[in-house]
Structure 1
Amino acid sequence: MVKQERALRTREALIRAAAEAFDQEGFPVASLTKISSRAGVSSGALHFHFANKGALADAVEEAAAAVLQTITYEPVRSGASHLQHLIDVTHWLAQALRDDVVLRAGFALSGEATREPHTNLREYWRNWVEEHVRRSRTRGELCEGAAPGRVSSAVVAATVGFEVLGSRDAAWLSADTITEFWRLLLPSVAAQAVFAELTTGEPRRSGF
């Protein structure tokens, strides 16, 4: 049991060290030697857990996907519309990207040109947004001229853009940035009856 716990801690330390290296240096430049040193383990211990840098990147993506799923599985607040929930989740995602290097690295790996994504976080996010925009349309929360596909494209393009830019300038992931995006978008997509009830600021989330 003690050995298993130690092995799990070592694996988690390596994933975090890899995420930090990928986030700061980029996947192509980050070296396994630096990653093992950053994690405080030997190169032999690293290779015991991960055959190569690609396998380590896969593990970072998987860990990041677990964080993203926790965010997107958050239940809709009592009495809130699906459109409000979409606004809330974009705020929670931005907050997590600011604070969690594993999530940032996982998203960046999804767009890494030198490797095929193992767990494509950007694709997962696009699918989630599309589903919730469709639900908003079904519930009559979108105005007549707001095509769900166009609304989804606008939200995905903006949030992924903030994610990319935020990797070097955290202001792109600030609550103010997300709030202003929604203030610009909502008047052209939200049904009038729903619009009056929507809040664009960063919501509270217990345990986050």
Structure 2
Amino acid sequence: MTTVLIVEDEPQLLRALQINLRTHGYHPVTATNGTSALTAASEHRPDLVVLDLGLPDMDGVQVITALRTWSQVPIIVLSARHAPEDKVEALDAGADDYVTKPFGLEELLARLRAAERRSIPAPETPVVTTKDFRLDVVGRKAERHGEQVRLTPTEWKIVELLVRNPGQLVGQQQLLLEVWGPAYAREAQYLRVYLNQLRRKLEPDPTRPRYFITESGMGYRFEP
């Protein structure tokens, strides 16, 4: 079931969207302001976001900008702002579509379906094998020289983000947001602690990592 995060501060409209989307086979998750929207996006990992721009604590464009630092979830703006400059600002910030209020339900549903078709799921990397260890990312099983290695759920989240992007830098902020959520966006020490744990469990020499590489001040990368 496709999860849709609805961000709307008008209670009647929020309730109507929630009921109608559920009726049409979606799983709605709701938020009434920008802060709770970012938290919900981190916790629920929605497949789509429907976002009002006029929120009580921050502008919707700020929500789009914050989401785009760590997520490529399709975002459909649903706003009473009709000016071309408002649409351009939202789309430039990273929105995928823009629907003006008042709107027809059938049009919104069609936009949701189109956004679903355009979204590309993350490529699967079910098994990673090196000369020192084997990781089954989907099954969450790790082996080192034929022996089982226990990784914590948090360690698996970090591993998954890194091994799905082999050889590529994954930024500190992206890791913090995707693993721990917006409240931990500045807690870089969390990453240092967990990366050291991973190296002790998987690297042949944790003091000279071969696979889980630190890019000082920027982030980390996995070298298969």
Shorter chain as denominator, the TM-score bin is 0.3 to 0.5
Larger Rg: 2
Structure 1 or 2: more strand by fraction: 2
How does the TM-score come out when normalised to structure 2? 0.32
How does the TM-score come out when normalised to structure 1? 0.34
Structure 1 or 2: more helix by fraction: 1
